[in-house]
A and B are shown apart, each in its own frame.
Chain A
Amino acid sequence: MVSAITLDNIEHLAIGSSFLGTGGGGDPYLGSLLCREAIAEYGPVPVISVDELKDEDNIFIAAAMGAPTVMIEKLFSIEDQHRAVATLERFLGREASAIISAEIGGCNSMMPVAYSAMRGLPIVDGDGMGRAFPALQMTSFNIEGVACAPLTIADEHGNSVLYQTTTGLKAEELARPVAAAMGASVCMSCYPMTGAEARRATIPKTLSGAIAIGEAIADSSDPRRPLARLVAALRGHEYYNDAAVVFEGKITALERDTSNGWVLGNCSISAMAGTETAELKFQNENLLVTVDGRLRCVVPDLVTIVDVETAHAIPTERLAYGQRVAVVVCSAPPLLTTARALDVVGPKSFGLDEQYIPVNELIKDLI
């Protein structure tokens, strides 16, 4: 496990979290700049393992909420993130002893690092998704019975709003219009936890996992292909370890429809030589992949399309006809594949007819 997030491994975190974003989760680029500024000013961020959390610790989430198109104009400030967390701390009468990411996949892996630097607090080696999901209730925290609310959002002017709601879904529903009134790019905190709760409900080792994945992809001193390094790194992880390249080829068809904030669609990939084709289905994130009609991986297990040469993840909105890609799949953290978890993040929650089958059964011939 890495002991700290530094200027040297922040780029690896960005690359690795893009992979775990499985096509969604947002571009970590702006967040990585924010982290660079924060680490340069406040120093490296110590990483604490989930096991090290004491019962009486208080764990707070740092995250962004809003429209990506607006975020690239208004950027972010950790002071605003602080206001979201501080409002929650005041309300609960507890002070944060560590910060955690709600979603390791994509841009929400970054803000917690920058914010931890500012607070001088450790960041927990874990998160609530182990990947990226499109909704606030799709977390291991929720699955394990931690309440999403109270939830706070804060803008850049000193305004903050606290929601006490019955469900996480309601909190999100009520927060979205206020976030828009605040300028559609706000900082958020939710799922406040004690150390005891966090130990139970957190998906551990995803932060160090993301860094290891990013490092493997970027390590040019290793003579193996980046794709081989990526798969090796996944197989070396505690639970992303059922991993394989299920297909390599060229994107030959792409259907993408943006509506109600979702990017829905399909992507077909054809082999460079031969007649095999792979079909992917996505809703912001990739949901499943079949090769010649044979199911190879389905959500919550991870499906990521990567550049066949560089092994860098390609987000859904950047997919294009003609790209040379590989489809990499790997197993989801165990907390996401329990019967209770599959009700929240299983194929049915995305309107899919397929039953969940663990990826290690679907790719037995490849591992």
Chain B
Amino acid sequence: MRIGVDVGGTNTDAVLLAGKDVLGAVKRPTSGDVSTGISDAIGALISECNIRPDEITAVMIGTTHFTNAFIQRRELVPVYVIRIGFPAARGIPPFASWPEDLKATICGGSAMVPGGFEFDGREISALDEAAISEAISEARKKGIKQIAVSCIFSQLNPDHEDRAAAMIGKKAPEIEVSLSSELGRVGLLERENAAIMNASLRPLAAKITAAFKHALQDQGITAPFYISQNDGTLMSADYMQRYPVMTFAAGPTNSIRGAAWLTGAEDAIVVDIGGTTSDVGVLKDGFPRQSTVHVDVGGVRTNFRMPDILSIGLGGGSLVCEDGDKVTVGPDSVGYRLLSEGLIFGGDTLTASDIAVAGGQISFGEPDRVAGLSPELVSKACKSIRESIDDAVDRMKTMPGDIPMILVGGGSVIVSETPQGVSEMLHPEHAGVANAIGAAIGQVSGEVDRIYNIAGPKERTAALADAEAQAKAHAISAGAQSDSIKIVNIEAVPLQYLPGGATRVVCRAVGDLAMAE
């Protein structure tokens, strides 16, 4: 049996899964220390399902804590950056693109040192160890405890970053190191930004890891725990402590994956309706479709593996407004105050949930309180809701033709009709905790993103085989059971404007977590 936990900004959800069955689900408020909320939720789950803590084989936790901390600039520490690649790239130094407030909090200095690689694997310069020594001394002198290391084409060859990390470990063991090669893909600035963000979150990561451990101990659980990454796969607690930035965007990913698991769908649109907003994502071959554009997090440009999500201002608490003949629903919302301000809950604000009850789609709260609403208003509001969803679904489709849709989230009651372009609307049981389920079913992955020189079909086959083998090896080292690994994505894209067959190959392998079940 495994437990999935979703630590959100407002609620902490926990579910218990055995094979293909959901044995129980609970919701508790998230606590300021994180730990108490998790402990409460798991405690309630264990007693509700009447099981013993030692029957649990693993706990999977998804959290938005680090994303929120970064966006709200909470508990971030200064970071020193060593960029390897000089004399290339020197025109745009580290932090050049950062918002001023964040830079003031995080920038602890930087050095650009000789080293790095060309696209074809040649060294730009030999790694300058003396320059790295000097940078380490400078960081130490400033009392900085976090160093981010980036290097040109390090996702192709991490050697120079690894050597710098080893030197830091030797010379300044008190300093923690974040490597760009562990975090991103092609795009030096974005990869470097990810390493800096990660470094700034490391002390918080240590605290949160301890909070998770504490919560599980509290409930007498000795099984290992894992954390959801932004692509829906899992990492170990140790890895999260080193790479907290990999949890960014795990929330929407988990809800899409949870929706897939609850319905068995492999390809579908997933609409997750909350109190204020709805997230619309796409499930492709069982995984969320990834965003291809740059994603700004807290004003910093990154190129993480993020799900492609369209957020719209429509939720269970959305305000219904009449403006002459027109009726609009959202984007303003009463949010979590729905339970006190919505008409059906005794308040005096007309919300999307009131419309759902008035329209007879569902009955909860005090339906009498909306019985007097004009049928015309109700029908116009329903139409507005339907049009918003129709539009969002249509925007996220990549091909003409109808596609199944899965409806999840606490606010999903406001949708009753199958939107246009949807072949079948699925609204599974436990849709309200799809997020925690997504965490519980997490697999482990490995990825490669590098450039091969492909002169002919023979080299092409060899390059793709090599990429697959490397991705599989990465998945195994991340904890995957080797016979369960599948290649879920492999792309070979020739580089523009370059002779000689230089081709970027991206390959991702995913497998089940190796554990005693």
Contacts and interface: CB of A to CB of B under 8 A. Distances in A.
B225 interface: no
Contacts of A290: none
Contacts of A80: 91
A77 B97 CA distance: 15
A183 B87 contact: no
Given A37-B93, A321-B398, A180 B499 contact: yes
B309 to A, nearest CB: 14
Nearest to B393: A322
A307 interface: no
Interface in B25-81: none
A296 interface: no
B92 A75 contact: yes
Contacts of A79: 90-91
A1 interface: no
A73 B188 contact: yes
A258 B187 contact: no
B410 interface: no
Interface residues of B, number: 40
Contacts of B499: 176-177, 180
A73 B90 contact: no
Contacts of A76: 89, 91-92
B394 A180 contact: no
A318 interface: yes
A183 B189 contact: no
Given A68-B496, A70-B495, A77-B88, A36 B96 contact: yes
Given A72-B187, A73-B187, A318-B293, A30 B394 contact: no
Given A114-B91, A180-B500, A70 B119 contact: yes
B438 interface: no
B497 A68 contact: yes
Given A37-B92, A73-B188, A79-B90, A322 B397 contact: yes
Nearest to A78: B91
A69 interface: yes
A229 interface: no
Contact of A69 (B152, B399, B400, B504): B504
Interface in B140-193: 152-153, 186-189
B92 A34 contact: yes
B498 interface: yes
B502 to A, nearest CB: 8
B244 interface: no
A148 to B, nearest CB: 17
B396 interface: yes
B494 interface: yes
A33 B88 contact: no
Interface in A67-117: 67-70, 72-80, 114
Given A77-B87, A261-B497, A322-B398, A69 B186 contact: yes
Given A37-B96, A76-B91, A77-B90, A69 B85 contact: no
Given A36-B96, A37-B96, A322-B395, A69 B88 contact: no
B266 interface: no
Given A67-B119, A261-B496, A322-B398, A73 B186 contact: yes
A73 B96 contact: no
A184 interface: yes
Interface residues of A, number: 43
A75 B398 contact: no
Contacts of B87: 77, 156-157
B395 A324 contact: yes
B124 interface: yes
B493 interface: yes
B118 interface: yes
Contacts of A77: 87-91
Nearest to B89: A75
B91 A37 contact: yes
A309 to B, nearest CB: 12
Given A37-B93, A69-B496, A180-B500, A156 B395 contact: no
Contact of B88 (A74, A78, A263, A322): A74
B495 A69 contact: yes
Contact of B85 (A30, A74, A114, A320): A74
A259 interface: yes
Contact of A258 (B85, B153, B400, B496): B496
Interface string B492-517: 01111111101010000000000000
A120 interface: no
Contact of B189 (A75, A156, A176, A253): A75
Nearest to A323: B395
Given A33-B96, A37-B96, A318-B293, A75 B88 contact: yes
A131 interface: no
A257 to B, nearest CB: 11
Interface in A314-356: 318, 320-324
Contacts of B398: 320-322
A66 interface: yes
B155 to A, nearest CB: 9
A106 B241 CA distance: 41
Nearest to B118: A183
A55 B124 CA distance: 42
Contacts of A318: 292-293
Contacts of B124: 74, 156, 183
B498 A67 contact: yes
Nearest to A176: B499
A250 interface: yes
A156 B116 CA distance: 13
Contacts of A78: 91
B493 A67 contact: no
Interface in A226-272: 250, 252-253, 258-259, 261-263
A45 to B, nearest CB: 16
A208 to B, nearest CB: 25
B394 A250 contact: yes
A80 B97 CA distance: 21
Contacts of B493: 258
Given A177-B499, A184-B119, A263-B496, A321 B397 contact: yes
Interface string B476-500: 0000000000000000011111111
A261 B498 contact: yes
A170 B189 CA distance: 34
B397 A66 contact: no
B448 to A, nearest CB: 16
Nearest to A155: B88
B395 A180 contact: no
A111 B401 CA distance: 45
Contact of A74 (B97, B188, B293, B504): B188
A232 B87 CA distance: 45
B495 A67 contact: yes
Nearest to B124: A183
Contacts of B400: 252-253, 321
List of 5 A-B pairs having minimum Cβ-Cβ separation, nearest first: A77-B91, A75-B89, A261-B497, A156-B88, A67-B498
26 contacts: A33-B92, A33-B189, A38-B91, A66-B498, A68-B496, A68-B497, A69-B119, A69-B496, A69-B504, A72-B186, A73-B186, A73-B188, A75-B188, A77-B88, A78-B91, A183-B118, A184-B495, A184-B498, A185-B88, A258-B493, A258-B496, A263-B496, A321-B399, A321-B400, A322-B398, A323-B395
Interface of B: 85, 87-93, 96-97, 118-119, 124-125, 152-153, 186-189, 292-293, 394-400, 451, 493-500, 502, 504
Interface of A: 30, 33-34, 36-38, 66-70, 72-80, 114, 156-157, 176-177, 180, 183-185, 250, 252-253, 258-259, 261-263, 318, 320-324
Given A156-B88, A184-B502, A259-B494, 11 more contacts: A34-B91, A36-B96, A37-B91, A38-B91, A67-B502, A73-B152, A74-B89, A75-B90, A76-B91, A77-B90, A177-B499
